[in-house]
A = this chain, B = another copy of it.
């Protein structure tokens, strides 16, 4: 007698097998790409002591966190992968070599208000490069290459990596005598895309008491990177401000380094843009900042963001640990890709490549065939349940298993197998080894498409 109605918590993504296969394919691709750049995989606990996780404390985070007692322990679930990284690096710093490059793909928890497309449990896919005391700007220049390959490997074609430098912004606002207000200004300017220049102007003058002529200067400055302005042109325009503020000049040099090496890093100019409006909300970014947008879906906002920071683990250690990192909010991205129909449904999602249907009492030949397929890397499932022939073939059909293989008395006597290509309906009756080769060739072809369209 059932006593409890089965359900999944709202805000928790639970995928059916076919979309789960699509998600796994994305996860595999990310792992492979991140590894190519010398990042080592880490896996830290989902749970930490609350005092450790909340060392920084305050703000929205604290309200959203899953925090609870178990015995005497005050525990919490991680809400991002950055705090656990800071703890890891501070705790193990004497056993690590710097620069320390790690990627981590894992679930994080935020008890947000439930809302369509908002998740309480979601994957983040992060990479970070942590230096000991110093970290070369070349690491910042490398990040666009990682973003480019990450999305290209997934098959995405129409996207832009947008880059700015916080030193340029902070230097420029200092030039205007607006250092105190630079945080407010950046948070306002960040909304330019959404609310437009006039509203930004109103907020800056009315709410933050920035003088109108300074607002003009800010908007003119930001418009340097408007529209199709290419990176070289933006850099040249920025040179006009050089020599007035050392922070600005350093930021400009850093941005020049990023742009200079794009080509060697294999990033096509058409996928890159200097965008002076990007600031990233978080206060702890201090140098290059990154956003990534899909050309056809600007309303989604950035799908991969991050930046350079000066001090990863100040709450845990005196050691100065500068770094640069980016993060992909994978669960939300997957949800959006599903919604927009951008996941390539042509790629195989079946649990098996071949369904083997034994037609004889003695199952040994069918089982031996399954074993042979598996030894050769072909995913094989034996179907030995009762029922009519039609039901059995229907099973392969429903699961979209690409090949069905029949082993009857005739086949066994003649040393052949009958193989049906489920998509074309075509049948071959060939020795097992030849069937294997045909199947393997067919699978390579089926796997060859892009994961993400668009």
Contact = CB atoms under 8 A, between A and B. Distances in A.
A88 B121 CA distance: 17
Interface string A44-55: 111111011001
A73 interface: yes
Contact of A95 (B16, B44, B92, B317): B16
B23 A43 contact: yes
Copies in the complex: 2
A99 interface: yes
Interface stretch (A193-201, A208-216, A281-289, A364-372): A364-372
A68 B71 contact: no
A335 interface: no
A363 B121 contact: no
B101 A381 contact: yes
A17 B42 contact: yes
B2 A20 contact: no
B38 A381 contact: yes
Contact of A8 (B2, B87, B139): B87
Contact of A363 (B36, B264, B364): B264
Nearest to A136: B384
Interface in A355-413: 355, 363-365, 367-368, 370-371, 374-375, 377-386, 395, 398-399
Given A36-B379, A88-B14, A367-B265, A52 B4 contact: yes
A74 to B, nearest CB: 11
Given A2-B317, A99-B385, A363 B138 contact: yes
Contacts of A383: 99
Contacts of A101: 351, 381
Contacts of A9: 45, 47-49, 73, 75
Given A264-B363, A398-B97, A374 B36 contact: yes
A5 interface: yes
B92 A16 contact: yes
Contacts of A315: 2-4
A363 to B, nearest CB: 6
A352 interface: yes
Nearest to A10: B73
B379 A37 contact: yes
Interface in A94-131: 95-97, 99, 101-102, 107, 109, 111, 121, 131
Interface in A38-97: 38-49, 51-52, 55, 66, 68-71, 73, 75, 86-88, 90-92, 95-97
8 contacts: A2-B90, A2-B315, A4-B51, A9-B73, A47-B66, A134-B385, A263-B364, A266-B374
Interface of A: 1-9, 12-17, 20-21, 23-24, 35-49, 51-52, 55, 66, 68-71, 73, 75, 86-88, 90-92, 95-97, 99, 101-102, 107, 109, 111, 121, 131, 134-136, 138-139, 142, 145, 149, 261, 263-266, 313-318, 351-352, 355, 363-365, 367-368, 370-371, 374-375, 377-386, 395, 398-399
Given A8-B45, A9-B47, A66-B68, 4 more contacts: A17-B96, A36-B374, A38-B381, A138-B384
